[in-house]
């Protein structure tokens, strides 16, 4: 796929007599089949940069220039979400790493594989240029991201770098997946090395086979599920494979179990299936779960919190089967491990491995008659997120769409997901600004497929991350970004409203320090400034459908397009209904 981007081709380089440390590192990246490296440049890795361009010819891996390190990481994140595959990122010394760190945290919380390369030094102080090499050298640079990467290393030689890259790649792609970080000393990159040290056989360092559940656990889980009166399946982190999708449907149907999905994770179950019991949401409504006597949690992000939402402080009234390898990477710094759920059976495996075993082992339960899920369609009176969703749904009927981002005010009932690629999930770590980069990364992954990549972003999200657009226009990665623009960091207006009410203070002041107004920002112009099509602002209902229709046409013709839709502030989700502590982001 890398050669398909056909962009930024270097002039031919004469036969090289001399090789450098970074040439060997670049050769290793090619041997590992890293397809792309999203990056923002910096002198700390000028050696590697030269090797990628002049030794490898800027292909396999190909560079993707980004205007901000946060976009570089978000693009790799979006690519991994859509493909399940790892790509690389290169971040300049400490400063580039600091810029990229929030996005690394998002990728970590989202459990996506990513190979992050960085640089420092020269570590040998005697070889540093005055001033700049000193401020861009940090001892233990990996410490900046160690708490939200699976592994980091600073290799001291080419053979050590080979091994570090192999280990970083293997670990990043082993479940539970996550980013890894390799810090390349500038002196190592810029050292003359003579002939290329033999590259290891990459095939011998492949990702391990999946971990299978033991027979006794499967048997016990099947016994509980088969005897249940009201089993519920919580489907969380699962793969993008259609085969796995069908296997999940088969299990739910054999058990006639109700299924819940999470809007924080990608599409995991057909939301219009009669067994899909409620629209995917950020904070699931506990009432449905409270009726369950057996809960099967398939790597659901917050099983303990979800059970608590159902049973509160009373004992959890259901038996719990927990299927998740996630605790393998639980650490102390960030509490993204969530609460500790109780479990009668705990299989530390990936759900997609376990599901077929369970389907085989459970007894079929009789079908219950369930009402079919309906999307609530009242008449739209203003340009709202719901009106936007309706117009978008009508215009994309029968089309394959991959939604790479949804705004906070999106109600999971607005649109059905019927394929694993229909929705790619949220940002993982709740770090605002990821939306544009995630969309561009998904566009990179799905370029040339029949799926239109669409990110529906909040204006705050768009404004923080919008320069990812330039990478999309430069490399011709068609995608559509629709900004649900309420001209505010509105989620936090709601928090101020809640606090004001609690304290008996005027709610009228909730907009101060939140609203993005005076001057009004022309988002369409920000898109045009980067070579994308900019449409809007769309202020009237009558303009909404034609504007989105025009945008879809442009994207189908290969363009990058942004539509600024001025939505009325207000959420139609349980983000506002949840207790303040639950919805604090
Ligand atoms: C990096 C970062 N900064 C701040 C926040 C706090 N925060 C959560 S939601 C939000 C508002 C996002 O604005 P927008 O994307 O326009 O969505 P809206 O709230 O208006 O629906 C903010 C500032 C965050 N989660 N991440
Ligand atoms: Mg907003």
Three-class SS of residue 126?
Answer: helix
- What ligand is nearest to the CA atom of residue 494? 1
DSSP conformational letter for 441: H
Nearest residue (by CA) to ligand 1, atom 8, is: 585
Q: How far is CA 335 from CA 231, 299, 330, 436, 491, in A?
A: 29, 16, 8, 26, 22
492 lines ligand 1 (CB under 6 A): yes
In sequence order, the β-bridge partners of residue 488 are 515
Write out the H or E segment, with its range, that includes residue 28.
Answer: helix 21-31
Q: Does 124 have pLDDT greater than 70?
A: yes
30 vs 279: CA distance, rounded Å? 43
pLDDT for 3 equals 45
491 lines ligand 1 (CB under 6 A): yes
Return the beta strands (E) in 186-255 as ranges. 231-235
432 lines ligand 1 (CB under 6 A): yes
Q: Model confidence over 475-504: pLDDT tens digits?
A: 999 999 999 999 999 999 999 999 999 999
Q: Does 213 have pLDDT greater than 80?
A: yes
Q: Which of 342, 337, 312, 309 has the alpha carbon at shortest distance from 325? A: 337
Question: Cis peptide leading into 80, omega within 30 of 0?
Answer: no
Nearest residue (by CA) to ligand 1, atom 9, is: 491
The number of beta carbons lying within 10 Å of the beta carbon of residue 229 is 9
- Which of 388, 489, 571 most suits a substitution to test ligand 1, by most atoms within 8 Å of the C-beta? 489
Q: How far is CA 346 from CA 20, 107, 296, 341, in A?
A: 50, 25, 10, 10
465 lines ligand 1 (CB under 6 A): no
Give CA angle at 78 (72, 79), nearest 5°: 90
pLDDT for 371 equals 61
107 vs 126: CA distance, rounded Å? 37
Q: Model confidence over 389-425: pLDDT tens digits?
A: 999 999 999 999 999 999 999 999 999 999 999 999 9
**Contact assessment for residue 455 and residue 128, using Cβ atoms and an 8 Å cutoff:** no
Nearest residue (by CA) to ligand 1, atom 7, is: 585
Continuous H helices in 110-236:
132-135, 158-172, 186-189, 215-227
Q: Does 573 have pLDDT greater than 60?
A: yes
DSSP conformational letter for 560: E
Residue 216 Cα to chain centre, angstroms = 35
Residues in Cβ contact with 475 at an 8 Å cutoff, skipping those fewer than 6 apart: 5, 7, 64, 444
Residue 102 CA, closest ligand 1 atom number: 1
For the chain, the distance separating the N- and C-terminal CA atoms, rounded to the nearest angstrom, is 37
**Contact assessment for residue 483 and residue 455, using Cβ atoms and an 8 Å cutoff:** no
pLDDT for 369 equals 62
135 vs 171: CA distance, rounded Å? 31
Give the global pTM.
0.96
The number of beta carbons lying within 10 Å of the beta carbon of residue 525 is 12
Task: Give me the phi and psi of 249, to 5 degrees please.
Answer: -65, -40
490 lines ligand 1 (CB under 6 A): yes
Residue 433 CA, closest ligand 1 atom number: 1
Continuous H helices in 173-297:
186-189, 215-227, 242-255, 286-290
The 3-class secondary structure across 301-339, one letter per residue, is: CCHHHHHHHHHCCCCCCCEEEEECCHHHHCCCCCCCCCC
461 vs 535: CA distance, rounded Å? 18
Give CA angle at 403 (399, 407), nearest 5°: 135
Mean pLDDT of the chain: 94
460 lines ligand 1 (CB under 6 A): yes
pLDDT for 354 equals 98
**Beta-sheet strand order (sheet of 319-323):** 258-261, 231-235, 294-298, 319-323, 345-347
Three-class SS of residue 255?
Answer: helix
Q: Which residue has the tokens 């219009």?
A: 272
Q: Which residue has the tokens 């459990």?
A: 111
Angle at which helices 158-172 and 21-31 pack, to 10 degrees?
Answer: 30
Core vs surface per residue 238-259: b (16+ CB within 10 A) or e: bbbeeebbebbbebbbbbbbbb
Q: Model confidence over 52-107: pLDDT tens digits?
A: 999 999 999 999 999 999 999 999 999 999 999 999 999 999 999 999 999 999 99
Q: Model confidence over 273-331: pLDDT tens digits?
A: 999 999 999 988 888 999 999 999 999 999 999 999 999 989 999 999 999 999 999 99
Nearest residue (by CA) to ligand 1, atom 23, is: 489
Burial class of residue 192 in the structure, from the number of CB atoms within 10 Å of its CB (0-12 exposed, 13-18 middle, 19+ buried): exposed
182 vs 306: CA distance, rounded Å? 36
Q: Model confidence over 160-185: pLDDT tens digits?
A: 999 999 999 999 999 999 999 999 99
Residue 493 CA, closest ligand 1 atom number: 19
Nearest residue (by CA) to ligand 1, atom 3, is: 432
Q: Which of 516, 452, 460, 453 has the alpha carbon at shortest distance from 483? A: 460
Q: Model confidence over 21-38: pLDDT tens digits?
A: 999 999 999 999 999 999
Three-class SS of residue 347?
Answer: strand
């Amino acid at each position: 796929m890398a050669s398909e981007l056909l962009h930024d081709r270097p002039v031919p380089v004469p036969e090289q007599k001399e090789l450098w440390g970074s040439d060997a590192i670049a050769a290793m990246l090619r041997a590992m089949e890293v397809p792309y490296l999203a990056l923002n440049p910096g002198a700390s890795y000028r050696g590697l940069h030269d090797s990628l361009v002049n030794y490898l010819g800027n292909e396999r891996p190909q560079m993707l220039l980004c205007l901000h390190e946060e976009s570089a990481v978000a693009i790799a994140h979006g690519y991994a979400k859509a493909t399940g595959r790892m790509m690389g990122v290169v971040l300049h010394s400490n400063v580039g790493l600091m810029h990229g760190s929030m996005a690394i945290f998002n990728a970590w919380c989202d459990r996506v594989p990513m190979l992050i390369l960085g640089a420092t030094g020269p570590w040998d102080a005697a070889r540093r240029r005055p001033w700049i090499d000193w401020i861009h050298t940090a001892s233990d640079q990996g410490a900046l991201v160690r708490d939200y990467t699976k592994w980091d290393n600073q290799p001291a030689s080419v053979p050590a770098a080979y091994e570090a890259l192999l280990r970083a790649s293997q670990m990043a792609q082993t479940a539970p997946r996550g980013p890894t970080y390799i810090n390349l000393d500038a002196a190592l990159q810029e050292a003359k090395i003579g002939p290329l040290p033999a590259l290891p056989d990459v095939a011998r360092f492949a990702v391990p086979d999946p971990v299978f559940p033991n027979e006794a656990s499967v048997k016990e889980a099947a016994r509980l599920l088969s005897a249940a009166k009201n089993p519920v399946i919580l489907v969380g982190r699962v793969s993008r494979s259609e085969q796995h999708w069908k296997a999940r449907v088969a299990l739910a149907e054999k058990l006639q179990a109700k299924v819940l999905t999470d809007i924080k994770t990608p599409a995991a179950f057909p939301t219009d299936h009669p067994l899909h019991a409620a629209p995917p949401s950020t904070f699931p409504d506990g009432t449905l779960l409270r009726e369950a006597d057996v809960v099967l949690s398939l790597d659901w992000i917050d099983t303990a919190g979800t059970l608590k939402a159902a049973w509160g402080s009373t004992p959890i009234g259901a038996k719990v089967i927990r299927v998740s390898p996630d605790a393998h990477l639980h650490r102390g710094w960030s509490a993204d491990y969530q609460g500790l759920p109780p479990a009668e059976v705990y299989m530390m495996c990936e759900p997609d491995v376990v599901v077929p075993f369970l389907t085989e082992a459970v007894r079929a339960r009789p079908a219950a008659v369930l009402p079919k899920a309906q999307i609530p369609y009242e008449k739209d009176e203003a340009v709202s997120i719901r009106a936007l969703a309706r117009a978008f749904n009508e215009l994309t009927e029968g089309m394959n769409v991959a939604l790479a981002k949804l705004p906070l005010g999106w109600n999971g009932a607005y649109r059905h997901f019927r394929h694993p690629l229909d929705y790619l999930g949220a940002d993982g770590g709740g770090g605002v600004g990821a939306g544009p980069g995630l969309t561009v990364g998904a566009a990179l992954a799905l370029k040339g497929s029949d799926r239109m990549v669409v990110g529906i972003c909040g204006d705050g999200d768009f404004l923080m991350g919008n320069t990812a657009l330039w990478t999309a226009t430069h490399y011709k990665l068609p995608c559509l970004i629709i900004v649900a623009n309420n001209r505010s960091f509105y989620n936090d207006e709601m928090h101020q409203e809640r606090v004001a009410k609690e304290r008996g203070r005027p709610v009228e002041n909730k907009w101060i320090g939140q609203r993005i107004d005076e001057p009004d920002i022309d988002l369409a112009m920000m898109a045009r400034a980067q070579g994308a099509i900019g449409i809007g602002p769309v202020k009237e209902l009558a303009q909404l459908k034609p504007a989105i229709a025009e945008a879809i046409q442009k994207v189908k013709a290969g363009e990058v397009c942004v539509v600024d839709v001025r939505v009325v502030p207000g959420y139609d989700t349980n983000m506002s209904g949840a207790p303040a502590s639950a919805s604090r982001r």
